[in-house]
Amino acid sequence: MDIAEETPVDTWEGYLTLGAPDFICKQCGAIMWNMERNNKSNKNAAPTFSLCCKKGQVSLPPERQPPEPLASLLYFSKHFLLYIIVYNALFAMCSSGGKVDRAINKDGAPYCFKVRGQNLHFIGSLLPEEGENPKYCQLYIYDTENELSNIMNVIGQAGDHLDENIVESLMRMFHEHNKVVHQFFTARERFKNDAIDEYNLVFISSEAVNGRPNIIGPSDEVASLIVNSTLDTPGFRDTIVHTGNNNLKQVWETKFFYAVTISGTFST
């Protein structure tokens, strides 16, 4: 029999739809299907639900809405959603690193990004090398008079389809709402005022026996660093001095008098 003469298969046979969820839980406001109600047997009773909040026993904080213009872009801009990965890459403040397992992608399976061990984030220097364009956190510190054009140049030709007005509005949103950007502004003002310390210290802390990293948080002034011998961590700290001419010098624990006279921002 010719294929064209075969009887078409009814793909809708046995298909069941519940329609759209059009019931609202009076306890938490969740949108539910009628078949999810507790009292299915009593069609005349007001529906009650427990899958969402266990009849009001579980209370979640209200969902935080993104600030403008991000909210409008997410809800109404098809262009922004189409290129959202590229827009996100423009404003990345650090690069990621780790042991990427590249052997996992083979045959015809969908692409999978897999990292072995700990995922790392690299910030790098606060200033770009001579002749290089600023990137990552450097965008908020160096040459901020041309911040918009510097951001647009981050990804080269990949940004040809982007809307510069959207980039500028997002840039201003980060300036107003992002607390990390505000921290970079502190460094920016110091560079603008030519008040650059001769040294930048980076403390790479050890990990405790339980695997929890010991964080030496940012501080405007550091007089000394005292290691508590009662903690479950060795006392050694790898201390690197970043001099004004971009050279690195290791300072041993026995020479910690350097930290007494240097004022700056420290990071792990």
For residue 90, the tally of other CB atoms under 10 A from its CB is: 20
Reported for 27-36, long-range contacts at CB under 8 A and 24+ positions apart, including other chains, are 27/52, 27/53, 27/55, 27/56, 28/52, 28/53, 28/56, 28/58, 28/59, 28/60
Which residue matches tokens 């294929």?
3
The pLDDT value given to residue 268: 33
Confidence of residue 258 (pLDDT cuts 50, 70, 90): very low
Q: Is 146 helix (H, G, I), strand (E, B) or coil?
A: helix
Q: What is the DSSP string of 154-195?
A: TTGGGGTTS-HHHHHHHHHHHHHH-HHHHHHHHHHHHHHTT-
Residue 224 has pLDDT above 80, yes or no: no
How far the first Cα of the chain sits from its last, in Å, is 75
Which residue matches tokens 């961590």?
233
**Using one digit for the tens of pLDDT, what is the confidence trace for 147-201?**
999 999 888 777 788 999 999 999 999 999 998 898 888 778 777 766 555 444 4
The whole-angstrom separation of Cα 158 and Cα 4 is 47
The pLDDT value given to residue 256: 45
Confidence of residue 261 (pLDDT cuts 50, 70, 90): very low
Bridge partners (DSSP) of residue 202 are: 240, 267
Which residue matches tokens 């405790």?
208
* Neighbouring residues of 126: CB distance < 8 A, sequence distance ≥ 6: 137, 138, 141, 142, 187, 191, 200
Lowest mean pLDDT among 21-30, 103-112, 151-160, 244-253: 244-253
Q: Look at 227 and 11; give whichever has higher pLDDT.
A: 11
Q: What is the mean pLDDT of residues 225-241?
A: 53
Q: What is the mean pLDDT of residues 66-85?
A: 94
Decide: 90 and 160 in contact? Cβ < 8 Å: no
Residue 10 has pLDDT above 50, yes or no: yes
Average pLDDT, the chain: 75
Decide: 123 and 93 in contact? Cβ < 8 Å: yes
**Using one digit for the tens of pLDDT, what is the confidence trace for 21-44?**
989 999 888 999 988 999 888 878
Residue 138 has pLDDT above 50, yes or no: yes
The pLDDT value given to residue 239: 61
